[in-house]
C-alpha cells in the first residue's frame, strides 16, 4: 500500500472506479480522468474508498493504482501541477503562462489549457470576491468549496484568492 493512510492525498493512475451510493458499491464502472488527485477515505490491500474532488463523489478503486502524493510539492518550482478545475496531476507544460513575478519567473495559470475554456466563460464581480474574502477559511491542506465560483480545491496549493489560507 506504499505507506498510504486514511486522509492522505493521492493520485489515482487509472481512469475508472465504482461509485458508492448509500454505502453500497455500484456494479457499473464510472469513467473519469486518469492521474486524478483524490483523498483516501478508507483502504485495504485490494481496494480503496476515495473522494473524487471534481465529481464530489466517492469511488471504490484498486489500491495498487493509488499513489501517495505531497500536494505541496506541485506547482511553481516543480515539474508537475494539479489543475484547480479537473484535479488531474499534469506536467507543468500543460498550463499557460499567466504572468511574470517580481524576480522575472514565469507564473502559470492554475487551470490546465483544457479547462480554461469553461473557466473563461465565468466572471466574478469585485463585490463577490470581497464578500468571500471576509468569510472564515479552512486550514491549509484541507478541502474548500468556494461559495462564489463553486470550485473545490486544496487550501494553500492554488494561487487563486479562493484557496489562500
**Residues with Cβ < 8 Å from 128, sequence gap 6 or more?**
148
Assigned CATH class of 9-68: mainly beta
Residue 143 · residue 152 · CB < 8 Å: yes
Secondary structure letter of residue 126 according to DSSP: H
Residue 17 · residue 55 · CB < 8 Å: no
Q: Could you report the per-residue pLDDT of 37-82, keeping only the tens digit for each?
A: 999 999 998 999 999 998 889 999 999 999 999 999 999 889 999 9
pLDDT of residue 147: 66
- Joined together, the cell numbers standing for residue 19 give 461509485
Q: Could you report the per-residue pLDDT of 72-108, keeping only the tens digit for each?
A: 999 988 999 999 989 999 999 999 988 888 888 888 9
Query: What residue spans in the chain does CATH classification 2.30.30 cover?
Result: 9-68
Amino acid at each position: 500500500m506504499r505507506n498510504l493512510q486514511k486522509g492522505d492525498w493521492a493520485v489515482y493512475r487509472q481512469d475508472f472506479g465504482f461509485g458508492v451510493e448509500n454505502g453500497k458499491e455500484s456494479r457499473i464502472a464510472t469513467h473519469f480522468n486518469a492521474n486524478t488527485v483524490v483523498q483516501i477515505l478508507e483502504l485495504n490491500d485490494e481496494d480503496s474508498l476515495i473522494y473524487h474532488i471534481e465529481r464530489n463523489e466517492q469511488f471504490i478503486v484498486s489500491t495498487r493504482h493509488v499513489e501517495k502524493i505531497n500536494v505541496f510539492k506541485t506547482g511553481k518550482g516543480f515539474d508537475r501541477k494539479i489543475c484547480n478545475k479537473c484535479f488531474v496531476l499534469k506536467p507543468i507544460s500543460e498550463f499557460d503562462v499567466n504572468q511574470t513575478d517580481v524576480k522575472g519567473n514565469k507564473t502559470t495559470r492554475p487551470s490546465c489549457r483544457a479547462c480554461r475554456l469553461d473557466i473563461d466563460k465565468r466572471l466574478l464581480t469585485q463585490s463577490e470576491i470581497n464578500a468571500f474574502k471576509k468569510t472564515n477559511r479552512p486550514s491549509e491542506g484541507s478541502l474548500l468549496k468556494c461559495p462564489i465560483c463553486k470550485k473545490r480545491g486544496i487550501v494553500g496549493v492554488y494561487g487563486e484568492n479562493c484557496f489562500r489560507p
